[in-house]
Structure 1
């Protein structure tokens, strides 16, 4: 599913630029994605659109987030730390954080890998038509092992 999401991010500059589900399914299939993977990604994107509507303006800027036991198990320490990092950097406001957590909770894999969470964060920005700043894009795309330390 995450490969399909990355493909959509790289090939469609915003969600409304994507064709309808039937046409998109044909395009993704022609590129080589499996039907199950395509359907899972499209369902996930539908949930993302719903979550964006549900959580818009749902939390104030000073709200504090306490993770449930299920969220802690699904996200793991590394992902919860990354979410906290993005919040403290001022790039992931509370409503967006809630969308990220919502979408992470319906994704496979427990605990979730940091790479998959980064894709979710990227897709949340994409779905809202927002471009993260260059430093955050670097954080989302560049593997820490590939960074050069000066």
Structure 2
């Protein structure tokens, strides 16, 4: 599923640039994605749209989030730390944080890997038509082991 999401992020500037589900399914199949993987990604994206509509403008600018034990188990320490980092950097306001949490909780199994969480964050920005600044994009795309220390 995450490969399909990355493909959509890289090939469609905005969600409204994507064709309807039927045509998109054909295009993704032609590129080589499996039908179950495509369907899972499209269902997840439908949930993303619903979550964005639900959480838009709900929390105040300085709201605090206490994670449930189920969320804590599903995210794990590394992902919770990353969400906290994005919040403290001022790039993940409370409504977006809630969308990220909702969509991460929609991923079966757990805990969610940091790599998958980064894709979820990218897709939340994408779905809202926002682009993270260059430093955050670097954080989301470049693996820590691949960074050069100056």
Separation in 1, partners of 2:121, 2:143: 15
More displaced stretch, 30-39 vs 107-116: 107-116
Separation in 2, partners of 1:76, 1:112: 7
**Ranges in structure 2 where 5+ consecutive residues have no aligned partner:** none
Separation in 2, partners of 1:70, 1:119: 21
Quote the residue 2:22 is aligned against: 22
- List 4+ stretches of structure 1 deviating above 2 A: none
Quote the residue 2:44 is aligned against: 44
Separation in 1, partners of 2:58, 2:80: 20
Aligned length: 150
SS in 1 for 2:66: coil
More displaced stretch, 103-112 vs 132-141: 103-112
TM-score by length of 1: 0.99
Quote the residue 1:13 is aligned against: 13
Separation in 2, partners of 1:108, 1:122: 19
Separation in 2, partners of 1:85, 1:49: 25
Separation in 1, partners of 2:61, 2:124: 18
TM-score by length of 2: 0.99
Quote the residue 1:84 is aligned against: 84
Deviation at 1:98, TM superposition (A): 0.1
Aligned pairs for 1:1-150 within 5 A: 1-150=1-150
Deviation at 1:97, TM superposition (A): 0.1
Q: Deviations over 1:73-124 (max 9, x none)?
A: 1100000000000000000000000000000001133111000000000000
Separation in 2, partners of 1:138, 1:109: 27
Separation in 1, partners of 2:97, 2:35: 30
Separation in 1, partners of 2:109, 2:91: 26
**Ranges in structure 1 where 5+ consecutive residues have no aligned partner:** none
